[in-house]
Amino acid sequence: MREEAEIIRQEYLRHDKKFPHVWCPGCGNGIVMGALLRATHNLKLSKDEIVLASGIGCSGRMPTYIDFNTVHTTHGRSLTFATGIKLANPELSVISVMGDGDATAIGGNHFIHAARRNINITAIIINNSTYGMTGGQYSPTTPYGSKSTTSVYGHVEHAFSIAELAVTAGASFVGRGTVYHASHLDKLIGQAITKRGFSVVEVISNCHVQHGRRNKLGGAVEMMQSFKNNAVTVGKAEKMTTEEMEDKFTIGILADIDKPISTEEYRRINRQAERDADKVVKAKVKNGVKRYEE
């Protein structure tokens, strides 16, 4: 019997691409990729019915390595391409993987409006609190006071929380996980893919090379340990005070609601408009070609 890890390695990875992948040793992106592959494998989706779109950034490299239908698009526009793909072929499972800068800085507007419109796609946002690829500039999720190449004295702005933003913007499913809680992440991603509507999974990940090193957070191992210590499940967090929750974050499902999906509504209206147009033409033909021509 083949191990699941072997199946994933043999059947889901593109071996003609350069492996080992480009990510730094211990980078959380690889763990998220593993979780995504296990989730799709466990859902028994065929590789041909999944589309993986990404933007630019370290996280954007992910589709290069996975043998789904993949598009590596421009910075921040992963969701726009994904929307187009979903509209063109609603049968496909469309997944968009983005970095925190990709999804909430340059692509922030696309993100909130995709959530508001409730398009039936899955967004996986790898939040490593920095712009990893370009050398560690601050991103919208860099915590106040953190050092980065563009905030050498400590960041003066405040971060926002991606998952909570997605909830208020109207996403159908919002979950948050970390790369330490990898098996929990599998399930979250699986649920997000099965969910009908816009689903968001924010993954707290480590960029120890650009963010960890500058802020003395240690290497991959130490950052992983801090995720373990600081993550609180949604249920537990309800019983904790705001002081206790300081420096901590919740993991689990933050929102799971059912509401109409705009892409489906759009198709329905399209069909209705076609039928109405047909009726008008038929009526005109019935009333005489002369009047129809007028």
> What stretches of 28-161 show up as alpha helix (H) in DSSP?
28-42, 62-65, 78-88, 100-101, 108-117
Q: Which is nearer to other proteins, 30 or 63 (by Cβ)?
A: 30
Q: How far is the CB of 65 from ligand TPP (least distance, A)?
A: 14
- HSE, side-chain direction, 13 A CA sphere, residue 162: 35
Q: At what angle do helices 28-42 and 182-194 cross, to 10 degrees?
A: 50
Of the candidates 89, 56, 62, the one whose C-alpha atom is nearest the C-alpha of residue 189 is 62
Q: How far is the CB of 146 from other proteins (least distance, A)?
A: 23
Peptide bond just before 20 cis, omega within 30 deg: yes
258 binds other proteins (CB under 8 A): no
- Determine the residue type at 208: H
Spatial separation of the C-alpha atoms in residues 291 and 234, rounded to whole Å? 66
x/- binding map, residues 92-131, to other proteins, per CB under 8 A?
-x--------------------------------------
Task: Answer with the entry of ligand SF4, ligand TPP, other proteins, none that 186 interacts with (C-beta below 5 to 8 A by kind).
Answer: other proteins
x/- binding map, residues 95-124, to ligand TPP, per CB under 6 A?
----xxxx---x------------------
Task: Answer with the entry of ligand TPP, ligand SF4, other proteins, none that 102 interacts with (C-beta below 5 to 8 A by kind).
Answer: ligand TPP
Residue 235 in tokens: 């249920």
Site for ligand TPP in 51-90 (CB under 6 A): 56-59, 75
Q: C-alpha distances in angstroms, 234 versus 20, 31, 35, 205, 244? A: 36, 22, 21, 18, 14
278 binds other proteins (CB under 8 A): no
| Site of interaction with other proteins (CB under 8 A) | 1-11, 13, 19-21, 23-31, 33-35, 38-39, 41-49, 93, 179-180, 182-183, 186-187, 190-191, 194, 196, 219-221, 224-225
